[in-house]
Amino acid sequence: FKQKTAYEIRNCDWSSDVCSSDLSDNERRHREAAEAAKNFMSRMLGSVTPGAARGREVSRTYMLDRAEVELEAGKLAGQPQVEREVRTLLGRAYLELGNFELATKHLRIAKDRGDETGDGDGLAAAAIEELLGRALGLRGEAESTSHLQNSLSIRRRLAGEGSAEVASSLNSLGLVLVHTGRFDEALHALDGACEVALPAQRSLCLPKRFTVLVAAKRVPEALKIGEEMMRSPASDKQLAGLAWTIANVIPGDPDALAFALRAAQASDRALKGRDPMVGAILARVQWLSGRRSDAAETARRALGFADSPDLRNALREDLRVYEPPVKGATPPSGGRDARGTP
């Protein structure tokens, strides 16, 4: 007999050797609801015929929208546990897509369905509370922290203080606190998450702390962490990520910009100048540093390696900014240059 883990219950990982005969009635209902939710989403995928798609690639958003239409038509009426599972899947997906309004809508309904079935304080409810707290927090809603604190409380009680579930709640709480400018509280939450993180997750702690400190404009502390990461980066692209954070948050700080230039150059060297995204980041930092010709050269090189239309278009737009104007060149029609300057 194998004791069930919180992970298996929360994620419905019933491929483990937990025997169905060992499940309580409540756990069996969770299992059945999760299976029904998966079948519902699979039907959404299967309902898109080649004729309906008309040769188009079916987008993730299209599939989510079809599922929403089915729900609004009452497809799962009278099946609150299944609807909760489906709404949670939709809420998580919309959250990942950055559609916080629709994520909030589905997660609120999922929470209501859990309360209706008397399952508002289990691990599944804690997962919904975490996702809802994140969605609300990224919309700037003050109630977000109460949902995240509730998620944390449930998980501490059911999964234990040192569990991955508790770390996840603390991590989400830190993210929302950063978004609302409560940086000291965010650092405290993230430090708590790192204390109980698995070894593979612990490598993310320093870059998260770096990001919070940059957002808080605590540049010396951020650069101290950055220098530590420079000595032993977790991946070839990691340092370019630090440079991108600085370029977007504090582009006018000379000390931070000098570090960002070294960091982006280090990633570019490690990848032998062949990664277009890293090249784009390096070019941006070079331009912010006043090295306009270097920025144009780096962007042209990155453009040669770009393998997606979106990245190629972005780099072309960047080049219009970086490349020095040619003396005597005729402006585009309308008497303006490529950036719209008269």
Q: State the pLDDT at residue 341.
A: 39
**Distance (Å, whole) CA 138 – CA 316:** 31
Question: In terms of Cα–Cα distance, which of 38, 102, 97 is closest to 69?
Answer: 102
**Distance (Å, whole) CA 107 – CA 114:** 11
Q: State the pLDDT at residue 29.
A: 62
Task: Provide the CB-side half-sphere exposure for 103 (13 A, CA).
Answer: 21
Other Cβ atoms less than 10 A from the Cβ of 251: the count is 15
pTM, rounded to two decimals: 0.65
Instruction: Please give, one letter per residue, the 3-state secondary structure of 93-137.
Output: HHHHHCCHHHHHHHHHHHHHHHHHCCCCCCHHHHHHHHHHHHHHH
C-alpha distances out from residue 275 to 239, 305, 306, Å: 13, 7, 8
- Asked if 97 contacts 61 with a C-beta cutoff of 8 angstroms, the reply is yes
**Distance (Å, whole) CA 271 – CA 264:** 11
Q: State the pLDDT at residue 52.
A: 45
**Distance (Å, whole) CA 255 – CA 340:** 32
Q: State the pLDDT at residue 32.
A: 65
- Strand residue runs (E) in 115-227: none
Question: In terms of Cα–Cα distance, which of 94, 91, 97 is closest to 130?
Answer: 91
**Distance (Å, whole) CA 73 – CA 83:** 12
- Asked if 242 contacts 226 with a C-beta cutoff of 8 angstroms, the reply is yes
Please identify which residue in the block is written with the tokens 């719209």. 340
Please identify which residue in the block is written with the tokens 């998980």. 155
Q: Which amino acid is at 174?
A: G
Helix 25-46 and helix 80-97: axis angle, to 10°?
60
Q: State the pLDDT at residue 44.
A: 54
Burial of 260 (0-12, 13-18, 19+ CB in 10 A): buried
- Asked if 8 contacts 18 with a C-beta cutoff of 8 angstroms, the reply is yes
Q: DSSP class of residue 163?
A: S
Q: State the pLDDT at residue 38.
A: 64
The pLDDT profile of the chain, 342 residues, written as one tens digit per residue, is 233 333 333 344 333 333 344 445 556 666 666 666 666 666 655 444 444 444 444 466 777 887 888 888 887 788 888 888 888 988 998 998 899 999 999 999 999 999 888 877 888 999 999 999 999 998 989 899 999 999 999 999 999 887 888 888 998 999 899 888 889 999 998 888 888 766 656 677 888 899 999 999 999 999 999 999 999 998 999 999 999 999 999 999 999 999 999 999 999 999 999 999 999 999 999 999 999 999 999 999 999 999 999 999 999 999 999 987 666 555 444 433 333 333
